[in-house]
Copies of this chain bind each other. A is one copy, B any other.
Amino acid sequence: MPPPTDFETYELGDLPLAGGVTLPDATLAYKTHGTLNTDGSNAVLFPTWFSAYHSDNEWALGEGKALDDYFVIMPNQLGNGLSSSPSNTPAPHGGADFPALSMRDQVTAQHRLVTEHFGLERLALVVGSSMGAGQTWQWAVSHPEMVERAAPIVGSPKTSEHNKVFLASLRAALITDQTFAGGRYDPDKPPVDGLRAFARVYAGWGFSQAFYWQQAYRNLGFSTLEEFLTGFWEAFFLDDRDPNNLLTMVEAWNNADVGQSPGFDGDTEAALRSIRCPVLDLPCRTDLYFPPEDEQHWSQFVPHGQVQVIPSIYGHFAGLGADPDAVAFIDRALRDLLRN
């Protein structure tokens, strides 16, 4: 599947990044759904997950769904290949020379989109899955004046050490392919073996033990394990994902921590205590890298924090639209959150 082309692009110009580098001519690709009402009270921001596009969020939309009457803005995260990324940035910042990104950089770019371009002063909801949840947490900390509700799904305000080990294994699998050449590969001859290994590693983590035990990949249209590993996982990462893009996002994920926001000096708990809005944290019971225990821990510091555990065997992908029951569970949770 080629990347989607149904998006608009906001020209950010110079984008100063938290790491110190200013990215010139930065762009943010986004798509909107629905209509903004006259008082601007129905805007929802829905950032993307790791290596996903805006289209990968659309499972949460549809007639009768919680977000149906909202104006939903789906910004593609920087680094995903549609917004400014290693793969589409010219020298001296392209490819292996692309600067490191953080969750704060994503929020900086998105804040400019929603304020400068859409003229919004508040967001009825920020919601996102996985790295989109990381961006959601960062929004709640960085812009308490704007965010009225936050719903991080299968993600965390701070990447745990175990999660970092998972990410280190993804990175190692990819860069072990000598074709990667420190990121200076020929774009026409990407490190295919490394991408395949990346997909294999991810396959073990993305869904749960119970998912595989029950062969629930059959529900996704694959009749054997081998078909699922190739038709789902390899297809996802080998079709059009750029390795430098992937590693840029891996690093941003790895370093995520709302405690690194200005004024908190690395104190994640203090950053969480500063959040004003209700936060409905939605981990999945069987998520292997964002386990619900972590979110139970972090949520205790959020003044209006609540955790609802998605009861699914789909693991992390329960939060990415793969499980119809989980989609319904999340939709009910968002509906309740938006009612208040």
Stretch at the interface among A29-37, A84-92, A120-128, A203-211: A203-211
Is A307 among interface residues, defined by CB-CB distance under 8 A? no
Docked-complex contact A165 and B225, CB < 8 angstroms: yes
Interface string of A282-297 (1 = CB under 8 A from B): 0000001101011000
Nearest Cβ in chain B — how far from A236, in angstroms? Answer: 15
Q: A172 touches which one: B173, B179, B293 (CB < 8 A)?
A: B173
Q: Which chain B residues lie closer than 8 Å to A203 at the CB level?
A: 165, 168-169
Nearest Cβ in chain B — how far from A50, in angstroms? Answer: 16
Docked-complex contact B210 and A293, CB < 8 angstroms: yes
**Given A161-B215, A165-B229, A204-B165, A197:B209 Cβ within 8 A:** no
Distance, CA A172 to CA B169, complexed state (A): 11
Docked-complex contact B160 and A173, CB < 8 angstroms: no
Nearest Cβ in chain B — how far from A24, in angstroms? Answer: 34
Is A166 among interface residues, defined by CB-CB distance under 8 A? yes
In the complex, which range does the number of interface residues on chain A fall in?
A: 35 or more
Q: A212 touches which one: B165, B194, B204, B215 (CB < 8 A)?
A: B165
Q: Which chain B residues lie closer than 8 Å to A229 at the CB level?
A: 165, 168
Docked-complex contact B160 and A176, CB < 8 angstroms: no
Q: Which chain B residues lie closer than 8 Å to A205 at the CB level?
A: 204
Distance, CA A194 to CA B172, complexed state (A): 8
- Please report which residues of chain A, range 206-257, place their CB below 8 angstroms from some CB of chain B when the two chains form the complex: 208-213, 215, 225, 229
Docked-complex contact A169 and B294, CB < 8 angstroms: no
Distance, CA A44 to CA B166, complexed state (A): 38
- Interface residue ranges, A against B (CB under 8 Å): 160-162, 164-166, 168-169, 171-173, 175-179, 193-194, 196-197, 200-201, 203-205, 208-213, 215, 225, 229, 288-289, 291, 293-294
